[in-house]
Amino acid sequence: MMITVAAAAAALAGAGQQAAERPEKAPPGGADGPPTTAVYDGSAGQLDVPALRVAGAAIDIDGEIDEAVWADAPVLTGFTQFDPVEGVPATQRTEARVLLTDDAIYFAVTAWDDVQDGIRATLGDRDSFGFSDDFVRFVLDTFDDSRRGYVIMVNPLGVQQDGLWVVGGGQRRRWGPPIDWNPDFVWDSGGRIFDGGYSVEVRVPLKSIRFPSVPVQDWGLQIERRIARNGYRESWAPVTADVANQMEQFGTLTGLRDLSPGLFLEINPVQTFSRQGAYDSDAGAFRREGIDGDFGFNVTYGITSNLTLDGTYNPDFSQVEADAGQIAVNERFALFLREKRPFFLEGTEIFQLPRQLVYTRSIVNPVVGAKLQGKIGSFNAGYLGALDEVGDSDDPDGKENAVVNLLRLRRDLGSTSNIGMVYTDRASGQDRFNRVLGVDGRFQLKQRYTVTLLAAGSRTSQGDPGAVSGGLLGAQVERSGRNFRFELGGSDISNDFVAGSGFIRRTGVAQVGADASYNFRGRPGDLIESWGPRLEAEGLWTHDDFRARRRPQESGFELGGSVSLRGNITVFGNYSRSYYRFGADAYDGLFFTDADGLRHVFRPGRSLFQGLGSGTIFFWVNTFDRVRGNVRLTRSESPLFDFITDTPVDIADSWSGNASLNLFPTTSLSAELGVRHTSLFRKRDGSLYSRATIPRARAQYQFNRALYIRTILEYGSQSRGALLTPEDGRQVSYCSAGSCVELEGTESNDFSVEALLGYEPTPGTVFFLGYTRRMEDTEAFRFREVRPEAEGVFVKLSYRFRG
């Protein structure tokens, strides 16, 4: 018997607020859907969906698809699986509906599931469920150019996650599509679980997205579903990895007419209060400062539906938890830290390049900033300017203001290719500046192959004796494939290249690498659903050696593979060999002192750093409903690097690993327990060179989708010994201009506690009350004499006014 939407709604009336946790008797929409509705079967290639425009639709976004207006909305069905197996029918039935009003686009999805209690859903905070829960994902390519799409995700309880799908964004992603999860948009969602599945409703205001200013337009559309218990991923428009750009395979929402966001003006004032305290060991008590208040605001104005202007004054860092601890005891280069400030996150996809020539976290303490971005025809443009106050703000003589200007242009070519340019300028007066000009291109050939090119030059001055110039060249070729894929790329960065507004981990080097893999696929439900080997090789030269065609300074290869087992269990493993060839001049300045106190030049034997082996195994288990986790173990022979000259001095046996356990005792309570560890023992005598252990615990209770309380405990124990000669264990020192520095060890045992009460009904509208306390343990994990170091309390109030 056919069941209409209205009839199903009547049967489900009175479910109340606990519908998400109490299964109902029947799914909304019925078993077969309304009889008069147009159906678009994705598996049959019915991918062009005429947009249904409804005037004055009153839809309550609660996850109950009970409004009569849904009965006439087109139904999108015929989902197919694309992971782990491509092209087979979906294991579970999914139906989606879409309609349009004057001010928003609406989606409704009914996702059936024939496994009793098989649905996974947690009532977490925003952007928290991508790896843990079932979800439905909508991707809107509003410019229909297969280059950029809005990603709207919702779990069975209506919890939100969103981002931007940016093709060729510059970030290497071996797993999953190129989605930047940092941006947050304003939209509404609701979800509920019933007996035999779940349903969700979504409303995306036109004010929240950008689209062309034309009378009639089409939008690219994809709808995906993930089943968390087995990791299966299904989509309405069939996709294959044989096509490099997955957005080319999307369906189309056609005939959208006279779209307008109306007046788009957002004002987001932010007020924070904080009180800091430092422990005075002599007095045996904290000395607390007065309450420090800080005000800032962000403004966004929609000049047109595809061009926006943003401004900020004293932008809030909006960091409600500290950057997770990273092991740095044998780290040769700077650590990358994610951007978290809302003003810098919005619209940053235009500044993504093959190498990170724009890194907004280099703007450390912005006073004011402005940003203009949008797309006009085939041109994407973005400008960001800021006044960065660096130095000691309490010392007028130590304060320095830097003016930062970032400009990016990109032009679409053909169906999916583009070319672009970038210019960055950071100047602080007194002939101190850094300027970078770069051009880049991404070219897709025969759908399967992608060629990426980048060339950039820098001009840098620190005052006397004048400016220096440097250059960067990069190229990469990729082949996408359902089974076989490969990647070949290289870069050459000169010694004097400086990206003052970017993040280039290492300069003065040239690098060439290749990566190839093959994936064998089974059938859904097989013990081995997919597996395959992978081979990677890499060589690294100094810039001068590369130009002179000498042998590489560092080289290596890696043979690995992965196996995906039934029950959402994945195993990765690899074995690698590394080779280091440093010339004698690389050790200039390094000395050791003999037993008689005489200083000698240090030069290790070349054969010491040849053929160093390393092996890693990684397990990821996502089988169980309430407990999930992963473990990684690595055993390797590791060079011990001098942190001044960046050359290997000694060699060590290294053991490292990390483990993470995710717990979901109830729908509202979640916890994460994790630990990272590394130990390095000198090869010569087995003595300990360094050890780092960082355990971390995070627990969160969600009262509802907006209100939560969170606690984080982290202990960071890191120690590093002195660098010794590999032959007889003599202390190594670095000498320059008549003075010497002993390359001695360091030790720290820090312990921190963070607590946060948060209320965040929509992005930009928040209330935070937080407390942090940092302590020092005199001995690692002894807790016998824990010394307090600092503490702080902060309050943040913010409201997003939208016109």
Cα 559 to its chain centre, rounded Å, is 26
Structure tokens at 508: 């003065």
Average pLDDT per consecutive 10 residues, the chain (803 residues; last block may be shorter): 32 32 40 61 96 88 94 95 91 96 96 93 87 94 94 96 84 68 91 96 95 94 95 95 92 94 90 87 80 90 92 74 49 59 81 91 90 92 92 54 95 91 91 94 92 96 85 96 94 96 92 96 87 96 92 94 91 95 85 84 83 95 89 94 84 94 94 95 92 95 94 92 88 83 83 92 91 89 86 91 87
Task: Please name the residue that has the structure tokens 């006009």.
Answer: 376
Structure tokens at 130: 């991508």
Q: Is 543 helix (H, G, I), strand (E, B) or coil?
A: helix
Count Cβ neighbours within 10 Å for each residue of 256-283 and write b for 16 or more, e otherwise. beebebeebebbbbbebebebbebeeee
pTM: 0.86
pLDDT (0 to 100) of residue 697: 96
Compute the distance between CA of residue 207 and CA of residue 211 in angstroms, rounded to an integer: 10
Structure tokens at 20: 């998400």
- The string of DSSP letters for 194-252 reads ETTEEEEEEEEEGGGS----SSEEEEEEEEEEEETTTTEEEESS---TTSS-GGGG-EE
Rounded to the nearest 5°, which phi and psi values hold at 342?
Answer: -55, -40
Please, which residues have CB within 8 angstroms of residue 737's CB and are 6 or more apart in sequence?
none
Structure tokens at 352: 């993504």
pLDDT (0 to 100) of residue 182: 82
Asked whether 761 and 798 are in contact (CB, 8 A), the reply is no
Beta bridge partner(s), residue 256? 217
pLDDT (0 to 100) of residue 28: 45
pLDDT (0 to 100) of residue 788: 87
pLDDT (0 to 100) of residue 701: 96
